[in-house]
Chains A and B, each alone.
Chain A
Amino acid sequence: RKEVEQDPGPFNVPEGATVAFNCTYSNSASQSFFWYRQDCRKEPKLLMSVYSSGNEDGRFTAQLNRASQYISLLIRDSKLSDSATYLCVVNLYNNNDMRFGAGTRLTVKP
Protein backbone atom coordinates (compact mmCIF):
# COMPACT_ATOMS: atom_id res chain seq x y z
CA ARG A 1 0.00 0.00 0.00
CA LYS A 2 1.31 3.43 -0.91
CA GLU A 3 1.88 5.82 1.94
CA VAL A 4 -0.14 8.56 0.29
CA GLU A 5 -2.83 7.66 -2.21
CA GLN A 6 -4.89 9.85 -4.47
CA ASP A 7 -7.42 9.22 -7.17
CA PRO A 8 -5.40 10.06 -10.31
CA GLY A 9 -8.45 11.30 -12.19
CA PRO A 10 -8.65 12.95 -14.57
CA PHE A 11 -11.51 15.03 -13.32
CA ASN A 12 -13.12 16.95 -16.17
CA VAL A 13 -15.59 19.53 -14.94
CA PRO A 14 -17.36 22.55 -16.41
CA GLU A 15 -16.63 26.05 -15.26
CA GLY A 16 -18.51 26.90 -12.12
CA ALA A 17 -18.68 23.32 -10.87
CA THR A 18 -17.71 22.20 -7.40
CA VAL A 19 -15.15 19.42 -7.30
CA ALA A 20 -13.66 17.49 -4.41
CA PHE A 21 -10.49 15.44 -4.15
CA ASN A 22 -9.61 12.97 -1.45
CA CYS A 23 -6.28 11.68 -0.31
CA THR A 24 -5.59 8.85 2.13
CA TYR A 25 -2.44 8.28 4.12
CA SER A 26 -1.26 5.11 5.78
CA ASN A 27 0.81 6.35 8.71
CA SER A 28 -1.35 7.37 11.63
CA ALA A 29 1.58 9.23 13.17
CA SER A 30 1.65 11.73 10.31
CA GLN A 31 1.91 15.25 11.62
CA SER A 32 1.17 17.81 8.97
CA PHE A 33 -0.65 17.92 5.69
CA PHE A 34 -0.65 20.05 2.57
CA TRP A 35 -2.09 20.47 -0.87
CA TYR A 36 0.26 21.52 -3.66
CA ARG A 37 -0.67 22.52 -7.16
CA GLN A 38 1.41 21.59 -10.19
CA ASP A 39 0.81 23.03 -13.62
CA CYS A 40 1.86 21.07 -16.67
CA ARG A 41 5.66 20.96 -17.00
CA LYS A 42 6.07 23.26 -14.01
CA GLU A 43 7.22 22.87 -10.44
CA PRO A 44 4.80 22.17 -7.57
CA LYS A 45 3.67 25.14 -5.53
CA LEU A 46 2.00 25.19 -2.14
CA LEU A 47 -1.74 25.71 -2.41
CA MET A 48 -2.63 25.44 1.24
CA SER A 49 -1.79 23.73 4.48
CA VAL A 50 -4.45 21.54 6.04
CA TYR A 51 -5.30 22.16 9.68
CA SER A 52 -7.09 19.84 12.06
CA SER A 53 -10.10 22.12 12.28
CA GLY A 54 -10.32 22.51 8.52
CA ASN A 55 -9.47 25.71 6.71
CA GLU A 56 -10.68 27.80 3.84
CA ASP A 57 -8.91 30.09 1.40
CA GLY A 58 -11.33 31.75 -0.96
CA ARG A 59 -12.88 29.07 -3.15
CA PHE A 60 -10.70 26.34 -1.65
CA THR A 61 -11.53 24.36 1.47
CA ALA A 62 -9.27 21.73 2.99
CA GLN A 63 -10.27 19.24 5.64
CA LEU A 64 -8.49 16.61 7.68
CA ASN A 65 -10.03 13.48 9.13
CA ARG A 66 -7.44 11.88 11.40
CA ALA A 67 -9.67 9.01 12.44
CA SER A 68 -10.12 7.87 8.87
CA GLN A 69 -6.70 9.11 7.77
CA TYR A 70 -7.74 11.20 4.85
CA ILE A 71 -7.60 14.78 3.74
CA SER A 72 -9.78 16.48 1.22
CA LEU A 73 -9.73 19.51 -1.02
CA LEU A 74 -12.92 21.17 -2.20
CA ILE A 75 -12.89 23.70 -5.02
CA ARG A 76 -16.02 25.77 -5.49
CA ASP A 77 -16.97 27.76 -8.58
CA SER A 78 -14.19 26.19 -10.68
CA LYS A 79 -12.28 28.45 -13.02
CA LEU A 80 -10.42 27.53 -16.19
CA SER A 81 -7.25 28.55 -14.37
CA ASP A 82 -7.81 25.84 -11.76
CA SER A 83 -6.82 23.23 -14.34
CA ALA A 84 -3.75 21.55 -12.89
CA THR A 85 -2.59 18.52 -10.98
CA TYR A 86 -3.21 18.64 -7.24
CA LEU A 87 -0.71 16.88 -5.02
CA CYS A 88 -1.46 15.68 -1.54
CA VAL A 89 1.56 15.90 0.78
CA VAL A 90 1.98 14.36 4.20
CA ASN A 91 4.79 15.12 6.61
CA LEU A 92 5.74 12.17 8.77
CA TYR A 93 6.87 12.70 12.34
CA ASN A 94 7.41 16.44 11.85
CA ASN A 95 10.96 15.73 10.74
CA ASN A 96 10.61 17.09 7.26
CA ASP A 97 10.04 13.64 5.81
CA MET A 98 7.55 14.69 3.16
CA ARG A 99 5.60 12.11 1.20
CA PHE A 100 3.79 13.06 -1.96
CA GLY A 101 0.78 11.50 -3.56
CA ALA A 102 0.93 10.87 -7.29
CA GLY A 103 -1.52 13.71 -7.90
CA THR A 104 -5.05 14.22 -9.15
CA ARG A 105 -5.45 15.86 -12.49
CA LEU A 106 -8.20 18.44 -12.91
CA THR A 107 -9.36 19.95 -16.19
CA VAL A 108 -11.94 22.72 -16.06
CA LYS A 109 -13.71 23.24 -19.37
CA PRO A 110 -15.67 26.23 -20.68
Chain B
Amino acid sequence: EAQVTQNPRYLITVTGKKLTVTCSQNMNHEYMSWYRQDPGLGLRQIYYSMNVEVTDKGDVPEGYKVSRKEKRNFPLILESPSPNQTSLYFCASMGLQLYEQYFGPGTRLTVT
Protein backbone atom coordinates (compact mmCIF):
# COMPACT_ATOMS: atom_id res chain seq x y z
CA GLU B 1 0.00 0.00 0.00
CA ALA B 2 1.35 3.40 -1.02
CA GLN B 3 1.74 5.52 2.06
CA VAL B 4 3.57 8.15 4.03
CA THR B 5 4.21 7.32 7.67
CA GLN B 6 5.12 9.64 10.50
CA ASN B 7 6.23 8.93 14.02
CA PRO B 8 5.34 9.73 16.66
CA ARG B 9 1.71 10.65 16.07
CA TYR B 10 1.45 12.54 19.34
CA LEU B 11 4.21 14.10 21.40
CA ILE B 12 4.25 16.29 24.47
CA THR B 13 7.64 17.67 25.39
CA VAL B 14 9.28 20.49 27.28
CA THR B 15 11.05 23.57 26.03
CA GLY B 16 14.59 22.92 24.90
CA LYS B 17 14.48 19.15 24.69
CA LYS B 18 15.64 18.07 21.25
CA LEU B 19 13.24 15.91 19.28
CA THR B 20 12.97 14.26 15.89
CA VAL B 21 9.82 13.44 13.96
CA THR B 22 10.41 10.76 11.38
CA CYS B 23 8.81 10.58 7.96
CA SER B 24 9.03 7.75 5.48
CA GLN B 25 7.41 7.10 2.10
CA ASN B 26 7.32 3.92 0.03
CA MET B 27 6.42 5.43 -3.36
CA ASN B 28 9.95 6.25 -4.50
CA HIS B 29 9.00 9.92 -4.68
CA GLU B 30 11.71 12.48 -5.26
CA TYR B 31 9.96 15.34 -3.53
CA MET B 32 9.25 15.44 0.20
CA SER B 33 8.08 18.27 2.37
CA TRP B 34 7.17 19.25 5.92
CA TYR B 35 4.26 21.49 6.84
CA ARG B 36 2.80 22.82 10.00
CA GLN B 37 -0.88 23.55 10.33
CA ASP B 38 -2.24 26.11 12.75
CA PRO B 39 -5.82 27.35 13.14
CA GLY B 40 -6.66 30.14 10.72
CA LEU B 41 -3.27 29.94 9.01
CA GLY B 42 -3.61 26.79 6.99
CA LEU B 43 -0.68 24.66 6.00
CA ARG B 44 2.68 26.42 5.93
CA GLN B 45 5.73 24.80 4.45
CA ILE B 46 8.73 24.39 6.73
CA TYR B 47 11.28 22.67 4.49
CA TYR B 48 11.19 20.67 1.31
CA SER B 49 13.52 18.38 -0.54
CA MET B 50 13.65 17.79 -4.28
CA ASN B 51 15.87 14.73 -3.93
CA VAL B 52 18.54 13.06 -1.81
CA GLU B 53 20.93 15.58 -0.25
CA VAL B 54 18.89 18.51 -1.64
CA THR B 55 16.87 20.52 0.87
CA ASP B 56 15.44 24.03 0.80
CA LYS B 57 13.70 26.36 3.19
CA GLY B 58 9.98 26.86 2.95
CA ASP B 59 7.99 29.69 4.47
CA VAL B 60 8.67 29.02 8.16
CA PRO B 61 12.03 27.24 8.56
CA GLU B 62 13.21 28.97 11.74
CA GLY B 63 13.76 26.54 14.60
CA TYR B 64 13.72 23.45 12.38
CA LYS B 65 16.25 21.28 10.61
CA VAL B 66 15.83 18.48 8.10
CA SER B 67 18.00 15.96 6.35
CA ARG B 68 17.58 13.78 3.28
CA LYS B 69 20.18 11.06 3.35
CA GLU B 70 17.91 8.46 1.78
CA LYS B 71 15.15 8.92 -0.74
CA ARG B 72 12.47 7.40 1.44
CA ASN B 73 13.19 9.28 4.70
CA PHE B 74 12.90 12.94 5.58
CA PRO B 75 13.14 13.54 9.34
CA LEU B 76 12.22 16.85 10.95
CA ILE B 77 14.46 17.94 13.80
CA LEU B 78 13.68 20.49 16.48
CA GLU B 79 16.98 21.18 18.22
CA SER B 80 15.48 23.34 20.97
CA PRO B 81 11.69 23.28 20.82
CA SER B 82 9.73 26.27 22.04
CA PRO B 83 6.01 26.66 22.86
CA ASN B 84 5.37 28.50 19.58
CA GLN B 85 6.24 25.27 17.79
CA THR B 86 3.19 23.62 19.26
CA SER B 87 1.31 22.61 16.14
CA LEU B 88 0.08 19.83 13.89
CA TYR B 89 2.84 18.68 11.55
CA PHE B 90 2.41 16.91 8.23
CA CYS B 91 4.97 15.27 6.06
CA ALA B 92 4.18 14.89 2.36
CA SER B 93 5.74 13.32 -0.69
CA MET B 94 5.16 13.77 -4.39
CA GLY B 95 6.43 12.37 -7.65
CA LEU B 96 7.77 15.06 -9.96
CA GLN B 97 5.65 13.97 -12.90
CA LEU B 98 2.38 14.65 -11.18
CA TYR B 99 1.59 17.24 -8.59
CA GLU B 100 -0.43 15.14 -6.20
CA GLN B 101 1.03 15.32 -2.72
CA TYR B 102 0.51 12.38 -0.41
CA PHE B 103 0.37 13.36 3.22
CA GLY B 104 1.28 11.44 6.31
CA PRO B 105 -1.28 11.12 9.11
CA GLY B 106 0.14 14.05 11.05
CA THR B 107 2.06 14.54 14.28
CA ARG B 108 0.47 16.61 17.00
CA LEU B 109 3.26 18.27 18.97
CA THR B 110 2.80 20.15 22.22
CA VAL B 111 5.74 22.03 23.73
CA THR B 112 5.27 23.21 27.30
**A residues neighboring B (CB under 8 Å):** 4, 8, 32, 34, 41-46, 49, 87, 91, 96-103
In the assembled complex, the CB of A90 is this many whole angstroms from the nearest CB of chain B, namely: 11
A-B contact pairs, 27 of them (CB 8 A): A4-B42, A8-B40, A32-B99, A34-B100, A42-B105, A42-B106, A43-B90, A43-B104, A43-B105, A44-B43, A44-B103, A46-B100, A46-B101, A49-B99, A87-B43, A91-B99, A96-B31, A96-B48, A96-B94, A97-B45, A98-B101, A99-B45, A100-B44, A101-B42, A102-B40, A102-B41, A103-B42
Inter-subunit contact B103/A43 (CB<8 Å): yes
**B residues neighboring A (CB under 8 Å):** 31, 33, 35, 40-45, 48, 50, 90, 94, 96, 99-101, 103-106
Contacts of B105 in A (CB 8 A): 42-43
- Identity of the chain B residue whose Cβ is nearest the Cβ of A85 in the assembled complex: B42
In the assembled complex, the CB of A70 is this many whole angstroms from the nearest CB of chain B, namely: 17
Contacts of B41 in A (CB 8 A): 102
A97–B101 Cα distance when bound, in Å, is: 12
List the count of A-B residue pairs having beta carbons below 8 Å apart.
47
